[in-house]
Amino acid sequence: MPLFSHYKYVFQLQFLRNAGFLIFMAMIQILISIGIVIGFTYLIPTPNTSTILYLATGAPTIILIFTGLVILPQQVGTSKSDGYMEFMRTWPVNRGVILGADTTIWLCITIPGIVVSTIVAHFTFHPGYDISWTVVPALLMIALTSIGIGYGFSYLLSPTASLTISQIVVFGALMFSPVNFPMERLPEWLQSLHEVLPIYSMAEVTRASLAASTFDASFGNYLNLFIWCVIGFGGAIYILNKK
């Protein structure tokens, strides 16, 4: 059977199995993205244009991080616990097709939150968007990196360990990662750590694509995301193929 047919059937099976949950999570992401753009401004007495722009460009990054590094690992952990992971290994399809179909589904549920947060920020605060032609490939690369890492550690670790890491990630991304504020506000040791971890690069690439006249992303940021993406998906495929 052709590869595309395998992909189509796996996509249909996975989507129908999780349709209700995915729709619910898409709605949650919309609320989270609006909360970041609007709710975080209540923490700042007199938010200026620069602050608003950081929040407006940070919301899409948080949505992608939340999807790939928090929700996805929890779903994989559930699949392991109820035996669905072992059932997937019996399918007569390439393991890359399974990951590809699942990745497409996760990409789709991030779109509403990103679109809504961008529109709300634009009409509410006029933060000064300058959207570059790189916005689609940039957000796609960030999404794939986040999803790839999520697959990597959730397939490798136990459900309990994956859940623990996902909670640490969401807490760290919101409070201690330079997504909604400049990197310079962090202590030097944490800045050095973020130069290696992917979250800062995700934020930089997003900012550079949504506000190109204000921010720019370096080649190192893109290389960092590419390396993490390959490690994540490569590890996930290896573990799926492991007997």
For the chain, the structural domain boundaries read 3-241
* Angstrom distance (rounded) from CA 190 to CA 97: 37
Residue-level length of the chain: 243
User: Residue 1 pLDDT > 70, yes or no?
Assistant: no
Say how far apart CA 16 and CA 234 lie, in whole Å.
26
Question: For residue 18, what is the enclosing H or E element?
Answer: helix 3-34
**Which pair of tokens denotes residue 86?**
């072992």
pLDDT in tens, 70-128: 889 988 888 888 888 888 878 888 878 888 899 999 999 999 989 998 998 888 888 88
pLDDT tens by residue, 35-66: 888 888 887 878 888 888 999 999 999 999 99
Task: Please give the mean pLDDT across all residues of the chain.
Answer: 88
